[in-house]
Structure 1
């Protein structure tokens, strides 16, 4: 179970994972070693999955975002396994979800332009049988964050500070 200090540490690291441990410790009111141990435990427990650099899409020429809705009449475990393996081969797919409702799968795809998306689409449909594919191009990104809301964490009652 996490406590309030863990939540504060996670909040800081979600904003900037490059902040030195000593600075994180100072901000949460701990000394460096106990703070470092907490971060290590959060990593060991799988709360912190990895630390990454977030890139500017325009700087790496992936300025077009496409939300791809996929419907299939294939609902076997084998088909899903094959489809998931196939999707992992496409670096343009940055998010992949199995959905409830009328759409079976939703992809977020990033590409330089419509022509690149068309090439992606053709490679995709050539490799797997899909009943319907619908694409929606994002016109403007209004909000984007990788930070998860931390107010839902169930805090350890025994560790309340």
Structure 2
């Protein structure tokens, strides 16, 4: 899908606050409500906007400890991969899950209340799937966090 300047402006606003009324978004970018709403609907239909969610404060919901977990495995058969993905999908503490290139096969971002809860998470994880190596790094301080994607790389409208 080609994103023009107006689409990118709409997306910038929605990434900051998806609760802003369509009329206000339109006013900010110089469109009336109906054309602005049509653009938002088209962005949703084309999957550019996947969903609208609330971003919670981890500390206020008692998951203020972030752990980055690097996993290396010697198993690469499809049946093991399917089992592994299924096991990890069942852990609500895992909020991000990536297959990596390089020495680490998978990287997880895990959120828990404290080290004791991470230890329980770790023991449950290794009881459910065989892993070659697991390394955990606890985040000491969050320097930057955003859910907003940079839109400068979005496909521009044809010249």
Same topology, TM > 0.5: yes
Counterpart of 1:141?
A: 142
Match in the other structure for 2:63: 62
Q: Secondary structure at the match of 1:19?
A: coil
CA deviation map 1:43-77 (0-9, x unaligned): 00000000000000110000000000000000122
Alignment partner, residue 96 of structure 2:
95
Runs of 4+ in 1 over 2 A off after TM superposition: none
3-state SS of 1:87 partner: helix
Secondary structure of the structure 1 residue equivalent to 2:91 = coil
Give structure 2 stretches of 5+ with no counterpart: none
Determine helix, strand or coil for the equivalent of 1:109: strand
- Alignment partner of 2:96: what SS? strand
Between the two proteins, the alignment pairs up a number of residues equal to 158
- Find the counterpart in structure 1 of residue 39 from structure 2: 38
Deviations 1:83-120 (A, max 9, x none): 11111100000000000000000000000000000000
Query: In the alignment, which residue of structure 2 is the partner of 1:19?
Result: 20
Find the counterpart in structure 2 of residue 117 from structure 1.
118
Q: Which runs of 5+ in 1 are unaligned?
A: none
Q: Distance in 1 between matches of 2:75 and 2:10?
A: 44
Map of 2:5 onto structure 1: 4
> Aligned equivalents of 2:26 and 2:81: distance in 1?
44
